Amino acid sequence: MTDGIVLPPGGGRKLVTEAQEVTFKVTGDSSRTGSLFEVLVPPGFDVGAHVHTRSEEIFYVLEGDLELFAFEPDERTPDDWQQWRGSGGLKPIQAGAGSCMFVPAGCPHAFTNLGDEPARMLFLSAPPPDHERYFEELLEILGVGAADHESVARLREKYDIHQITPLRYAARQTP
């Protein structure tokens, strides 16, 4: 028999950089079906529109406001997904605490924090462990400040993340 996992608030393995904070709650070491993360999304962070061919994802906003979308747009433009529109009037939405987004494999999606305060979300990815390794490597890249687009693009390709619009994040300068 295998024991389960019970974590207190704030529990789990944390990866922290100036650009991002990710707490691994459940990983492929414990689950065959999914990885669960708590992610702090800093102001100005835009994950960029992208697609996974193998992964499904669920995002649940815990605190703050994010702009979210998960649909095939009428036209994929290479720069600004926030202006995308889909059939039946679909468009990105402002999502506050309690909002949930499900992303099936093959569905374009993105999120951004347009506000002045960090947002927190719970993020489930299946199957594990690709997103675990991806987060570890991404935070190494973002830990140096502004996103290095070539490094991010290579990393994303390695982990079945087909980028449509760029990841954007510039570390905020302190006076």
DSSP tag of 97: T
When mean pLDDT is compared across 11-20, 25-34, 115-124, the lowest value belongs to 11-20
Q: What is the pLDDT of residue 23?
A: 96
Tokens (6 digits) for 81: 């997904």
**3-state secondary structure (DSSP) of residue 86:** strand
- Say if residue 121's pLDDT is above 50: yes
- Say if residue 173's pLDDT is above 90: no
Angle value at C-alpha 121, between 88 and 125, nearest 5 degrees:
75
Q: Tell me how many helices (H) and strands (E) the chain has.
A: 2, 11
Spatial distance between the Cα atoms of 35 and 167, rounded to a whole number of angstroms: 22
Spatial distance between the Cα atoms of 110 and 95, rounded to a whole number of angstroms: 12
Query: What is the rounded average pLDDT of the residues 24-38?
Result: 94
Q: What is the pLDDT of residue 170?
A: 63
Tokens (6 digits) for 110: 């993105």
Going from N- to C-terminal start, the domains of the chain cover: 15-163
- Say if residue 123's pLDDT is above 90: yes
Average pLDDT, the chain: 90
Q: What is the pLDDT of residue 83?
A: 95
Spatial distance between the Cα atoms of 56 and 120, rounded to a whole number of angstroms: 20
Q: What is the pLDDT of residue 120?
A: 96
- The H-assigned helical ranges of the chain are 130-142, 149-158
Angle value at C-alpha 21, between 28 and 60, nearest 5 degrees:
70
- Say if residue 174's pLDDT is above 90: no
Query: What is the rounded average pLDDT of the residues 15-32?
Result: 89
Q: How many CB atoms lie within 10 A of CB 1?
A: 2
Tokens (6 digits) for 73: 């747009």
Q: Cite the beta strand spans of the chain per DSSP E.
A: 13-16, 21-26, 35-41, 50-51, 56-63, 66-70, 93-95, 100-103, 109-112, 119-126, 162-163
In which band, very low, low, confident or very high, does the pLDDT at 171 lie, cut at 50, 70 and 90? low
Report the topology of domain 15-163: Jelly Rolls (2.60.120)
pLDDT in tens, 94-111: 999 999 999 999 999 999
In which band, very low, low, confident or very high, does the pLDDT at 175 lie, cut at 50, 70 and 90? very low
pLDDT in tens, 146-170: 567 788 888 988 999 999 998 887 6
Q: What is the pLDDT of residue 12?
A: 96
Residue 125 · residue 57 · CB < 8 Å: yes
